[in-house]
């Protein structure tokens, strides 16, 4: 069972991972909007791929956040069952 310090470290890792993904999403979206505003009639294949990459990144981030919540909930339940464990 992780110690309080390890749990805090794990949370910091998750936050850093989420921050990295969000920065990637912002970069992709900025490029998408730049291209869309540049030429509204011709949408290149690489722009479609960029939209797909952004969607996949959102899905990955959603999965990470969901798993983090499940792990935190299970850890909390274990701590409540055995309050002597640290």
- Cβ atoms of 75 and 10 within 8 Å: the answer is no
Band of pLDDT at residue 41, cut at 50, 70 and 90 = low
pLDDT at 60 over 80: yes
Per-residue pLDDT, averaged over 34-56, amounts to: 76
Residue 29 lies in a domain: yes
Residue 76 lies in a domain: yes
Q: What is the pLDDT of residue 1?
A: 45
CA-to-CA distance for 33 and 37, rounded, in angstroms? 6
**Its pTM surpasses 0.75:** no
Residues shown for the chain? 86
Per-residue pLDDT, averaged over 55-81, amounts to: 84
Residue 66 lies in a domain: yes
How many domains are there within the chain?
A: 1
Question: Which is higher by pLDDT, 45 or 1?
Answer: 45
CA 4 to each of CA 1, 24, 57: distance values in angstroms, whole numbers, following the listed order: 10, 30, 30
């Amino acid at each position: 069972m992780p110690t309080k310090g390890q749990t805090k470290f794990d949370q910091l890792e998750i936050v850093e991972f989420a921050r990295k993904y969000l920065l990637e999403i912002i970069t992709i979206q900025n490029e998408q909007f730049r291209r869309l505003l540049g030429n509204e009639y011709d949408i290149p294949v690489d722009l479609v791929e960029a939209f797909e990459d952004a969607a996949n990144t959102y899905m990955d981030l959603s999965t990470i956040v969901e798993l983090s919540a499940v792990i935190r909930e299970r850890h909390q339940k274990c701590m409540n069952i055995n309050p002597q464990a640290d």
